[in-house]
Chains A and B, each alone.
Chain A
């Protein structure tokens, strides 16, 4: 079946521009995560949704970062007034919900370069 998809795959932005990154999770997956992966580092947690509810946004680095999942499926990560330090790969992952920890399936990521 189809996996997690993300678009665009690559994005170049000028410093100060706003960007929007899209994630299409696996159909039926209730949980959705966003991670940020700097060059040569492991992914770092940004935010978590269960259906449409954003239950944890403790990893968002500043108030310029905003995420939404209005219908409990597709999610968008928006970065306002981009800065050079925002350059990274943004990964989306989805999983089933339940009492036992479920596998997180990752998309290919969006590589953001801020000039």
Chain B
């Protein structure tokens, strides 16, 4: 089955700096890669996703890049703000049938210091 590795496990940045979180996956058939933000006591919330026919996607301060050859994808947050502090999870899924179950990384605790 799919295996997703995520690094780093913790990341501390100063407000205004950029943050980068990296993930690798094992199943070359995976073609959907969402990123979720989880705040304490809440469920994961989708912040951005990318599909395998796209190399990069941007939404305001958030961008995701995908390298299918290397099976890497990364989350980039620019101009970080204290409210960006949370746990971020990458995930991978493959189409086929109708079960698009997600395989998650172990998460990155991002702390943005004011």
0/1 string, A76-115, CB within 8 A of B gives 1: 0000000000000001000101011111111111000000
For B98, list chain A residues within 8 Å (CB). 31, 50, 55, 97
A42 touches B105 (CB 8 A): yes
Number of interface residues of B (CB under 8 A): 29
For A99, list chain B residues within 8 Å (CB). 95
Number of A-B contacts (CB under 8 A): 67
A95 vs B98: C-alpha distance when bound (angstroms): 11
For B103, list chain A residues within 8 Å (CB). 45
Segment of B11-19, B42-50, B68-76 engaged in the interface with chain A: B42-50
Which residue of A41, A91, A97 contacts B43 across the interface (Cβ within 8 Å)? Answer: A91
How many Å from the CB of A19 to the closest CB on chain B?
A: 19
A20 vs B105: C-alpha distance when bound (angstroms): 27
B107 touches A42 (CB 8 A): yes
Pull 20 A–B residue pairs with CB atoms less than 8 Å apart, ordered by A: A33-B102, A41-B106, A42-B6, A43-B104, A45-B101, A50-B98, A56-B99, A56-B101, A91-B44, A97-B98, A101-B31, A101-B95, A101-B100, A103-B34, A104-B34, A104-B102, A106-B36, A106-B44, A106-B45, A108-B42
